[in-house]
């Protein structure tokens, strides 16, 4: 039998979280409990996504979410699973989910000191054709824990820069279920071993290559791009950045899948603002911040084009922002072009 199969010391997600928490002397295990609750939610959704085609869970649930998008059954299930798992963890005071217009304030008996922002099933328009989808999450610690525990929640605890997040990650439901997570000390990658029912470490320290030869953007929006984005993409195609050899275009249309490839292979993922989407399409709290946190922790960069993504202060819980993220040198080139053309 393959020696790997007889791994006698599999570093599971739970064990890794404990090693990370032992780094902070005053850790009392609350974040550990919370991250494990997220892991349980991801295992459940991974199982549901696997069975979706068979169990007739594909297709529309009939209802619409606050974004006016048709809500597919898996969206609804994933949202309920994470709300229940986070509530039961007893570690949360406020939840922000892409699927609901209003913040969820956890009732007193289950309330904790963490705020979780999440997209339970990002890329869900791809479910019916079997393309990878994923869960994205970010975690803040309440600025005034006692006030939150007393039930005096305010959105001040939510509309905060990404730099105040204490943890973030995603779980991609693809050929296998892959989780990437950071608690501020680098990025670790895990793969769900279905025979164990555990996420086992497969990428102990993820590093984004400083440059890459893959650009990722929806070319269908090219007519609406700003001049800097247009120029950068032209240079990728002309081979200007790669000794005359053009970059490759890879675009899944599911942020988790496009960011996962960028973290592992390098290159750049872009969802710029354009005439159609003046603030871009991706949501600041539960898409841009968690992905920017991961990319920065893996040695890459994330920008709006003119400002560091993580330093933005959201003005609303579903606010959007343009984002360019990935290999440091690629992102710095787009920032240089933005300065050169003086465009946002
Ligand atoms: P477009 C999926 O709907 C999503 O929110 C992200 O996962 C993805 O990166 C983006 O939208 C794709 O948008 O306009 O290219 O289809």
DSSP string, 180-206: EEESSS-EEEEEEETTTTEEEEEESS-
Residue 19 C-alpha to ligand 1 middle, in angstroms?
35
Choose one of 220, 271, 272 to mutate for the ligand 1 pocket test, by most ligand atoms within 8 angstroms of C-beta: 271
Q: How big is the CA angle at 16 (ends 13 and 22), to the nearest 5 degrees?
A: 140
Name the E strands within the chain: 60-64, 70-72, 92-97, 104-105, 111-122, 133-141, 165-173, 177-182, 187-193, 198-203, 214-216, 248-249, 268-271, 301-303, 323-326
Q: What does the pLDDT read at residue 6? A: 63
Q: What does the pLDDT read at residue 294? A: 98
Residue 291 C-alpha to ligand 1 middle, in angstroms?
14
Q: What pTM, to 2 d.p., does this model score? A: 0.94
Q: What does the pLDDT read at residue 284? A: 98
Q: Which residue has a Cα nearest atom 1 of ligand 1?
A: 253
Residue corresponding to tokens 């919370």: 34
Choose one of 253, 280, 292 to mutate for the ligand 1 pocket test, by most ligand atoms within 8 angstroms of C-beta: 253
Residue 196 C-alpha to ligand 1 middle, in angstroms?
33
Residues with CB under 6 A from ligand 1: 122-123, 125, 218, 253-255, 258, 281
Alpha helices of 28-96 — where are they, by DSSP H? 30-55, 73-89
pLDDT in single tens digits along all 344 residues of the chain: 455 556 778 899 999 998 887 777 787 889 999 999 999 999 999 998 888 766 565 555 555 666 776 655 888 899 999 999 999 999 999 999 999 999 999 999 999 999 999 999 999 888 788 889 999 999 999 999 998 888 888 888 999 999 999 999 999 998 899 999 999 999 999 999 998 999 999 999 999 999 999 999 999 999 999 999 999 999 999 999 999 999 999 999 999 999 999 999 999 999 999 888 899 999 999 999 999 999 999 999 999 999 999 999 999 999 999 999 999 999 999 999 999 998 86
Q: Nearest-CA neighbor of 339 among 245, 231, 236?
A: 231
- The ligand 1 atom at the shortest distance from the C-alpha of residue 271 is 9
Question: Contact 121/177 with Cβ under 8 angstroms?
Answer: no
């Amino acid at each position: 039998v393959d020696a790997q199969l007889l791994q006698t010391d599999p570093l599971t997600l739970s064990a890794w979280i404990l090693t990370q928490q032992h780094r902070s002397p005053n850790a009392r295990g609350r974040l550990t409990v919370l991250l494990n609750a997220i892991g349980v939610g991801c295992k459940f959704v991974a199982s549901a996504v696997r069975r979706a085609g068979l169990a007739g869970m594909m297709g529309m649930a009939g209802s619409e979410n606050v974004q006016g998008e048709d809500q597919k059954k898996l969206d609804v299930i994933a949202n309920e699973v994470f709300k229940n798992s986070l509530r039961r963890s007893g570690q949360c005071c406020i939840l922000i989910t892409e699927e609901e217009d209003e913040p969820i304030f956890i009732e007193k008996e289950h309330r904790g000191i963490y705020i979780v922002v999440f997209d339970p099933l990002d890329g869900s328009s791809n479910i019916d054709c079997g393309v990878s989808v994923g869960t994205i999450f970010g975690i803040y610690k309440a600025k005034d824990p006692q006030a939150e525990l007393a039930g005096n929640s305010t959105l001040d605890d939510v509309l905060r820069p990404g730099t105040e997040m204490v943890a973030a990650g995603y779980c991609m439901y693809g050929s296998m279920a892959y989780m990437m997570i950071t608690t501020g000390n680098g990025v670790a990658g895990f793969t769900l071993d279905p025979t164990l029912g555990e996420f086992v470490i497969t990428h102990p320290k993820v590093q984004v290559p400083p440059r890459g030869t893959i650009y990722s953007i929806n070319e269908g929006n090219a007519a609406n791009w700003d001049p800097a984005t247009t120029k950068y993409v032209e240079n990728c195609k002309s081979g200007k950045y790669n000794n005359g050899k053009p970059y490759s275009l890879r675009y899944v249309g599911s942020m988790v899948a496009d960011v996962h490839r960028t973290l592992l292979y390098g290159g750049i993922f872009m969802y710029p603002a354009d005439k159609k989407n003046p603030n871009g399409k991706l949501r600041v709290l539960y898409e841009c911040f968690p992905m920017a946190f991961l990319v920065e922790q893996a040695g890459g960069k994330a920008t709006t084009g003119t400002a560091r993504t993580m330093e933005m202060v959201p003005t609303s819980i579903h606010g959007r922002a343009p984002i360019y993220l990935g290999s440091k040198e690629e992102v710095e080139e787009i920032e240089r072009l933005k300065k050169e053309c003086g465009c946002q």
